Structures are given as structure tokens and as C-alpha cells.
Amino acid sequence: MTNKTFEKTEYILCAEHLVYEYGIGTPFRKKALDDVSFGVKKGRITGIIGHTGSGKSTLVQMMNGLLKPQSGKVYFQGEDIHKDKATLPALRYKVGLVFQYPEYQLFEESVRRDIAYGPSNMGLSEEAVARRVEEAAEFVGLDKSLLDKSPFDLSGGQKRRVAIAGVIAMRPEVLILDEPASGLDPIGRKNIFEGLLRYRDSTGAAVVIVSHSMEDMAMYAEDIVVLSHDRLILSGTRDEVFSHADELIAHSLDVPDIARLAARLRRAGLPLAANLYTVEETAKAIAALLKGGTV
């Protein structure tokens, strides 16, 4: 499962045998990625999970050509993205990347103008930019009244959504987000993820979420890629990946708490299905069992 060969056309964006090392030729040399291959499918939410320092952030910066792998290739719609350097700027509009703590990049005097930065760089007409700004704000659930405020006057969660809207406004076909919900309270997290789902559902774009929270992955990701110490250890659909619980635990990554609870209930004799990873699904399954009178 780890080293499958890719049918490039199956994926909108895929990586083959990526290798990246920082600080070559200095005493601070460090391997960030070693032979990592995976693919992202259109219209699906892919989660990339791994500990701090497992190379997640390096990996996502390669997917839109900000970093060039020392060996290996990245393909967008079957084309090597580094084949022609002149196409890279255009690629960055199609593969939108939201960095970690994106609220620290806000710089404009109003929310509206900050969201407009990306689409105006694309050379769109003023009306088109304005339309995209409103549309992006709607996707991330920002109230229209906030658009004319200074981004520096907003709350942390609102700032984060402004920054994400700034990338969504470019209407990327693949939207990659590095830890989009880190440091937010549960409501803030929910707002962010629901915005991403809305964007995926109405545009059919691929969404890639980098996270170290198994709970978030279980809730929202449909495909999962697991990185540990610069290597890819598992990839596949959510059910496939979580079925390798021992391997995850061996890399001290763990399965979601609720999955462990379900496993314990199964061991206690409850006939629960094997693929329960979210609180809602598990609650429904238990309720169904209770109603069915099997307990």
C-alpha cells in the first residue's frame, strides 16, 4: 500500500518519490522527506496526518511548486509542474495553498481588499474580483458587515477565515491547507471545516487538509495519507487507513478516541460495525442497536 505505482490520470494532483533535505552542505543538514508518493482525487477531501517534524509542511509546499524536490516529481493533471518554469505562477492559482497560521499574512486595510489580493494578481476585472471576494466570504461564513473592517480588528477565528477566503477567492481546483484549525476553539474549528466542505461541495474541488488531529481527520477526511519521520507509512481511504490501527499506534499516532471506545464495546460483545470513527456515526450505531433490542 505504501509504494503503489500511480496511474497519473486518476489523480488531479500527485507526487512521485519526493525527496527533500534542508541545509545541504551545512552542519544543520536534515532530511524532511524520503521517497514519498501519493495522489489527490478531485472532489474528495484528503487528510495528511503526521507528527510535528514529519515533513507535512515541506510536502505541501512542494505541491504548488514553492519548493522543488531534490528528486521526484509532482504532477498536476498529469503534467510535471516543473517542466516549464513559466507555468508555475498560473499553477499557484489552480493549486491554492493556505499556510499554517495564515492570519499572520494579512496586510490590507480592509478585509475586502485582503481577500481580493489573490484574484487581482490573477489579472481579473474589478467586477470579477468583487464577485469572487463576496463568494469566498460566503464559503468561509464571514458576515458581509465584516468585509469593510480592518482585518486587524477581527477575532482570531475570523482572521483565520479571512486568510482562507483569500486563497479560496482564486477558486483553486486543489485547495491545500496546513493545519487550518490549529489554535482555535471547537466552534472556530467547526466553522473552518464546514467552510471547506461547502467549498468542495459547490465547486467539486479537491481539498487537502494537513493536521495532526486524528479526531479532525476522522470527521472530515475521506482519503488519508500518514507520514512519520520523513516517510509515508500509510495511504488510502479513511476506513483502509484506520483499519491499520496497530501500525498507527506503532508510530505513536493512535486512532481516534471514539474508535477505541467502539473497539472496546465490540470486545465486550456489542455487534458494532468496524468502521466507526466519529462520535456521530458511533452514537447512531449504538442508538440503532438499542432500538433494535439486541442489547
Nearest Cα to 139, choosing from 107, 100, 99, 96? 96
Calpha distance 159→181 (Å, rounded):
12
Which positions ≥6 away from 252 have C-beta within 8 Å? 51
Integer CA distances (angstroms), 222 to 109, 134, 197, 238, in order:
38, 28, 12, 5
How many other CB atoms are found less than 10 A from the CB of residue 74?
23
- Nearer to another protein by Cβ, of 113 and 212: the residue is 113
Q: Give me the sheet containing 231-237, strands edge to edge.
A: 95-98, 174-178, 206-211, 45-49, 223-228, 231-237
Least distance CB 175 / another protein (angstroms): 11
- Nearer to another protein by Cβ, of 169 and 262: the residue is 169
Least distance CB 67 / another protein (angstroms): 9
Half-sphere exposure of 274 (CA within 13 A, CB side): 8
- Nearer to another protein by Cβ, of 32 and 253: the residue is 32
- Nearer to another protein by Cβ, of 85 and 260: the residue is 85
Least distance CB 274 / another protein (angstroms): 39
Q: How do 95-98 and 174-178 pair as beta strands?
A: parallel
- Nearer to another protein by Cβ, of 91 and 241: the residue is 91
What does residue 222 show for φ and ψ, rounded to 5 degrees? Answer: -100, -40
Least distance CB 253 / another protein (angstroms): 26
- Nearer to another protein by Cβ, of 105 and 110: the residue is 105
Q: Rounded to a whole number, what is the largest CA-CA distance in the chain? A: 68
Interacting residues toward another protein by CB under 8 A: 22, 26-27, 61, 64, 66, 89, 92-93, 96-99, 102, 104-107, 117-118, 121-122, 152, 166-167, 170
The amino acid that residue 248 corresponds to is L
